[in-house]
Amino acid sequence: MRIENTRLGDLEVEDARIVTIPDGILGFPDSRRYVVLDLRKGSSLKWLLSVDRPELAFVVTDPHPWFPDYAVSLSDTDVAALAFREKDELSVMAIVTARGRRREDTTLNLRAPVAVNLRTLLGKQVVLSEDRWGVRVPLPVRTPSPSGATVRRAAGS
Amino acid sequence: MLVLTRKSGERLMIGDDVMITVLDVGRGQVRLGIEAPKGVRVHREEIFAKVIEENRHAAEASGDFLPDWEGEGDED
């Protein structure tokens, strides 16, 4: 389908890539359909673009390369909302807030990740019960690594 | 809204499997013990307000998102 976005202009997106978030992203209940696109080729950052509101977009990233010990536990309600069956079908994204262009101005919301079931294309912003992860966790100083070997936890998260 | 009065040490049941115990009352605070199945999330309400605020910041900031650091390896 064709979607309008004030940042990226008009885009043609396959219907099969549209993720439905029935509850919306918290604070944005009127947008329920999103599409995930690379920010640029090969980027670890992605757009979470609203299909329903042209001006609405988030930047998201997979938190695991940055925080290897990050784990999300789904409640029974989450499992039902996502029609979740197997671990492989789950994608977890953290919403990125950039208060400036530098890395140190960038934080991840690890307390309320967006979970997407890649099979059913259902998503939910899950608020974790544990206090361990905050809504404004600074990016670690080191660059991410898939192996996690060079990743360090940010201080004061 | 259902309003109930409980004393310290007394309990409330919500449904069949959520139990709330009033542990301590005093000085403008009440301490509650909550026993709920693992699948039930229990939050202080404030965390939702914090998440909503952060989501709004994130949405606003995404408007001119062009990170200098991304994909360029380590810097300084």
Query: Could you give the percent of chain A with pLDDT greater than 90?
Result: 56
Asked whether the beta carbons of residue A99 and residue B55 sit closer than 8 angstroms, the reply is no
Q: Tens-digit pLDDT profile for chain B (76 aa)?
A: 999 999 999 999 999 999 999 999 998 999 999 999 877 888 888 999 999 999 999 999 886 666 655 654 443 3
Identify the pLDDT of residue B22: 97
- Within an 8 Å CB–CB cutoff, is residue B7 touching chain A? no
Identify the pLDDT of residue B34: 95
- Within an 8 Å CB–CB cutoff, is residue B47 touching chain A? yes
Would you call A28 exposed, middle or buried from its count of C-beta atoms within 10 A (0-12, 13-18, 19+)?
Answer: buried
Residue with tokens 């919403």: A95
Identify the pLDDT of residue A114: 97
Q: What is the pTM (predicted TM-score) of this model?
A: 0.81
Q: A48 CB contacts (<8 Å, ≥6 apart)?
A: A25, A34, A35, A36, A57, A58, A59, A60, A93, A95, A114
- Within an 8 Å CB–CB cutoff, is residue A82 touching chain B? no
Identify the pLDDT of residue A42: 78
* A135 confidence band (pLDDT: 50, 70, 90): very high
DSSP codes, A38-60: ESSTT-SEEEEEESS-TT-EEEE
Closest by CA to A48, choosing from A92, A104, A78, A90, is: A92
Asked whether the beta carbons of residue B47 and residue A142 sit closer than 8 angstroms, the reply is no
Q: A69 CB contacts (<8 Å, ≥6 apart)?
A: A153
Identify the pLDDT of residue A9: 84
Residues facing A124 on adjacent strands: A115
Average pLDDT of the residues in A12-30: 94
Identify the pLDDT of residue A140: 83
Identify the pLDDT of residue A151: 35
Phi (first) and psi of residue A78, to 5 degrees:
-65, -45
Helix (H) or strand (E) holding B13: strand B11-14
Q: Is the pLDDT of residue A147 over 60?
A: no
Write b or e for each residue in A60-73: b if 16 or more Cβ atoms lie within 10 A of its Cβ, otherwise e. Answer: bbbbbbbbbebebe
Helix (H) or strand (E) holding A124: strand A122-125
Identify the pLDDT of residue A153: 37
- Measured distance between the N- and C-terminal CA atoms of chain B, rounded to whole angstroms: 56
Helix (H, G, I), strand (E, B) or coil at A70: coil
Identify the pLDDT of residue B38: 77
Q: Is the pLDDT of residue A59 over 90?
A: yes
Identify the pLDDT of residue A154: 39
Phi (first) and psi of residue B59, to 5 degrees:
-65, -40
Helix (H, G, I), strand (E, B) or coil at A113: strand
